[in-house]
Amino acid sequence: MLNLTKLETVEIPLHKLTLWDDNVRTSGAKEGLDELIASICSVGLLQSLVVKKASRGTFIIGAGKRRFLALSQLAEKGDVKRSYPVPCRIAPDDADLTEISLAENVCRLEMIGCVVKLSSFL
């Protein structure tokens, strides 16, 4: 089993990253994207993407589709350069991107209840 915590984080220029066609997130990727963009503008990108080497010096994204979409929109608006250094963990060639994508998208808790509880204390 792949342990992503043991992978080194490297910075890859935004323009060298591409979406993986078989990402398990097939809907909802653009939901809340404006909030994610605002967060990235405010505090930066807090979580690295997980990528795998592709052809001609490019990388496909196994985990981090929404973060990539947010950064791409920022680049389109000129708020970041296309060469923006994106923190990425490079998965080995034999890594199963479906497994990585599933782990990122299925093994998570909805935070809405937590936010509502927190806001009652503010």
Work out the pLDDT band at 82, boundaries 50, 70, 90. very high
Q: Is the pLDDT of residue 118 over 70?
A: no
The pTM (predicted TM-score) of the whole model is 0.76
How far is Cα 6 from Cα 9, in angstroms, rounded to an integer? 9
- pLDDT tier for residue 75 given thresholds of 50, 70 and 90: very high
Residue 83's CB is within 10 A of a number of other CB atoms, namely 11
Architecture in CATH of 4-119: Alpha-Beta Complex (3.90)
Q: Given this model, what pLDDT does residue 77 score? A: 95
Cα angle vertex 51, ends 2, 8, to 5°? Answer: 65
* Average confidence (pLDDT) over 13-36: 76
Spatial CB neighbours of 108, under 8 Å, sequence gap ≥ 6: none
Residue 3 has a pLDDT of 63
